[in-house]
Copies of this chain bind each other. A is one copy, B any other.
Amino acid sequence: MATTRRDSPLTKQELDAWRGMLHVHRDVVARLDAELEREQGLPLSSYEVLISLADSADGRLRMGELAGALLLSRSGLTRLVDRLERQGMVARERCEDDARGYFAVITDAGREKLESARPAHWAGIREHFLGRLTPDDLDALAHAWTRVRTGSNSA
């Protein structure tokens, strides 16, 4: 196989692997967002904030930790938390050791909303992504993600 210069145009094989991920990510996330919004009145960005808080100790995170925990959009996080606070799903608490900082805390109403939304979201992830793949595909993806994240190199 010919050696490819690292700054040469991507080959077809490389494009298929890389741009394929960008396409799939964009399309699946857009569908899940539209479904959550339509069926639960909860955009995916809000769902993600609630999940991150629910999975953390005491259901609370500093705003900076919350931004780091999110897998999707971090843009407009302050506005997003403002809206969840108005909806009664998140509360703000002052950090005792940092006068300017505060925690976002999931409320009981937020946990209830999350629990009612999760099954439909899991079904959506299966419908649009997981259910279209074989168990071997799932294992191949998981292996690839581990390689990318640990930087264990091949070539």
| Contact present for A133 and B144 (CB under 8 Å) | yes
| Contact present for B155 and A16 (CB under 8 Å) | no
Q: Is the interface of A mostly helix, strand, loop or mixed?
A: helix
Number of A residues near B (Cβ < 8 Å) is 59
In the complex, whether A139 has a CB less than 8 A from a CB of chain B is yes
In the complex, whether A3 has a CB less than 8 A from a CB of chain B is no
Closest CB-CB distance, A83 to chain B, in whole Å? Answer: 16
* Residues in chain B near residue A141, CB distance under 8 A: 16-17, 20-21, 140-141, 144
- Given A73-B75, A131-B155, A132-B147, 13 more A-B residue pairs with CB atoms under 8 Å apart are A17-B138, A17-B139, A18-B125, A19-B71, A20-B142, A22-B25, A23-B145, A26-B71, A75-B75, A131-B154, A132-B151, A137-B147, A141-B141
